[in-house]
Structure 1
């Protein structure tokens, strides 16, 4: 088995690194890594329905889609991520406890009574400290999980607190649970670096040894190419969301605006704008302008900049309309 302590904290790079090791390596692997503040959404989720977009914009938080299913999670440097990549037949898929148990054993060595709970969580005193997810590829299983060690719980809840926007979609919804940090339960305080070393040494013992591995220049080149072509793109992180309908209404000085969107593969297929605002020209011209545009703030803003919105919605700004559309 290869053991990797990936010290890169860029979430786009780290998600790409997982896929690279899964698909390009033949060896089994255990990897530890952390992300700077970011939101990681499950493969089958509607990204916009899972995040607090205002908070994400304000704090410039990266949003990245992962390969595995499950719900959205907030990462920061107080959260440690672990990844097992093993060679196994399909029958081993969804055996979450097998991969969570070594982590539980480390916590118990530290005097922390952790346990496997439900389908894919590790809990302490009924509070979630780890969520786990899996992905299967050509007889290889990728199992990864979070470990809230000293994470900012306030930021976590704020980033994932969705605004009251009405989405109709088939995306997998995240389930809110009470969470806690491992550091709160330690009898003797340790740093996250010490925690990382304890886990790595324990896994080495349990798996019979192997070698520490550092990404080569060639590895880094290929991982960064994957970031450029996939993990760093709007198409993967937002456009890959399941098709959805969205309805949102807001009142401005120029009147009430209600927007109904039908989005397929990240592209606005249909849009209806209602409200008690006034305009010289018919609002259907704005609707037609928005059809076929990516449901991204940048692209919508670019499309709206081609017209004088005041002619269609007096005293309603482009910022106002975008606020209702996201």
Structure 2
């Protein structure tokens, strides 16, 4: 394992570009660990409709960064009280959606700090039923990134102010608000810790889990590549916002794999635009399904025929073809 030093960068667009650059360009002979702390920002899941996840007026007023990440899952709020960790490793065909494997060493570090931390639900680390970390994954095929947040001393009020949380998500989990589910790690510590101290303790704890880490500093040429990716992708409006479609049919449902939200524009009986949003995790980009269904007839038999050879679990996790087609044609609720 090689620890990548991000040189104290706090711009979320740059840190996400750094993470992806490592994933796509660094040697597959090694595994990598990256830590970063972001300025106030909302990090949008790959498959989400940005404008429906955020309080646009509030984030503009507060100058909160809005950035889409490459992994699935839901929108999260970052600030200087939040430590982000990222493991970049080989994808062996079994590791994707295996959150237990990658959270286990982090949980052990938290337990050593006196927290009763454990993995619960799909991808959350909790202490006494309070979420203190969320994780997500993304795969390029041969390599993958498993990353997550550690809420040390985040301004939890801003989570509510900056994010528009869908009622279906709140009701499905039986909670009245996001604030009731989320807690800071600092609430469970006997002694307060600054974020830099916490970062060092987590790093030292992870050292104990493996052979001694090498610390790597990017070259000037590598940083140039990171900045280029930041400019071309993570500062691009189309990447961060541009998936908001024209639609006249909306179908959404929460499955065990997460919420799937369909926006379909039908004209003269044909699907002219088909967009898929949600906080699910999958290893393949849903744009492929969107393209398959575009310009096809909006009828069950046609859609079933188009999808019959598609392995939907690659895109959403474990969901049946029947359930997905039922969602496309389900009754409005």
Distance change >3 Å, CA 263–CA 38, structure 1 → 2: farther
Structure 2: gaps (5+ residues): 168-176, 251-262, 267-271, 274-333
TM normalised by structure 2 equals 0.68
Does the CA contact (< 8 Å) of 2:13 and 2:230 recur in 1? Answer: yes
Which secondary structure does the structure 2 equivalent of 1:150 belong to? Answer: coil
**Residue 91 in 1 paired to residue 76 in 2?**
no
Q: RMSD across aligned C-alpha pairs, in angstroms?
A: 2.5
Does the CA contact (< 8 Å) of 2:87 and 2:147 recur in 1? Answer: yes
Distance change >3 Å, CA 242–CA 130, structure 1 → 2: farther
1:235-271 Cα shifts (integer Å, max 9, x gaps): 1001145665699xxxxxxxxxxxxx9999xxxx99x
Q: How does 1:1-326 map to 2 (within 5 A)?
A: 1-6=1-6, 7-26=8-27, 27-161=30-164, 176=178, 178-241=181-244, 244=247
TM normalised by structure 1 equals 0.70
Give the greater-gyration-radius structure (CA).
1
Which secondary structure does the structure 1 equivalent of 2:94 belong to? Answer: helix
Distance change >3 Å, CA 246–CA 192, structure 1 → 2: farther
Which secondary structure does the structure 2 equivalent of 1:103 belong to? Answer: helix
Following superposition, the deviation at residue 191 of structure 1 comes to 1.6
Which secondary structure does the structure 2 equivalent of 1:131 belong to? Answer: strand
Q: Between Structure 1 and Structure 2, how many residues are aligned?
A: 243
Does the CA contact (< 8 Å) of 1:110 and 1:187 recur in 2? Answer: no
Distance change >3 Å, CA 142–CA 65, structure 1 → 2: same
Aligned counterpart, 2:173: none
Q: In structure 1, what is the Cα distance between the partners aligned to 2:248 and 2:218?
A: 42
Which secondary structure does the structure 2 equivalent of 1:189 belong to? Answer: coil
Structure 1: gaps (5+ residues): 165-174, 248-260, 271-326
Does the CA contact (< 8 Å) of 2:3 and 2:34 recur in 1? Answer: yes
Distance change >3 Å, CA 163–CA 3, structure 1 → 2: closer
Which secondary structure does the structure 2 equivalent of 1:221 belong to? Answer: helix
Does the CA contact (< 8 Å) of 1:2 and 1:210 recur in 2? Answer: yes
Which secondary structure does the structure 1 equivalent of 2:241 belong to? Answer: helix
Distance change >3 Å, CA 245–CA 110, structure 1 → 2: farther
Distance change >3 Å, CA 146–CA 263, structure 1 → 2: farther
1:63-105 Cα shifts (integer Å, max 9, x gaps): 0000000000010010110000111312211110111111111
Q: In structure 2, what is the Cα distance between the partners aligned to 1:113 and 1:158?
A: 29
